[in-house]
Amino acid sequence: MDKHRTQISNTQNERDDGAVYSPIEDLQRAEGNAPLNREAFRRVGGLPMTVQVIGYVLFGLLFAGIGAVLLLNVL
């Protein structure tokens, strides 16, 4: 029976190593840049608490501003 794509794989060759596929991956390597890595996005919790709070506040204000602009345009 074939494994469904939503099932967790236990073999090493089926696991994703966290790298994000990029069509310009070869170009990034030629320039000396590494391709994107999902682990960097998961490590937000490792940042200092003040940096986290500032980031959450800024993103909150950004989304609140976008929501306010959209709401005011409808009214």
Are 63 and 45 in contact, with CB atoms under 8 Å apart? no
Q: What is the pTM of this model?
A: 0.46
Whole-number pLDDT of residue 68: 96
Per-residue pLDDT for the chain (75 aa), expressed as one digit of tens each? Answer: 676 666 666 655 544 555 566 677 777 777 777 666 667 667 777 778 898 899 999 999 999 999 999 999 988
Q: How far is the C-alpha of 45 from the C-alpha of 60, rounded, in Å? A: 17
Give pLDDT, residue 64: 97
**What is the Cα–Cα distance from 17 to 12, expressed in whole angstroms?**
9
Measured between alpha carbons, how far is residue 21 from residues 12, 18, 60, 70 in Å?
A: 18, 9, 29, 34
Report domain extents, the chain.
17-74
| Average confidence score pLDDT of the chain | 76
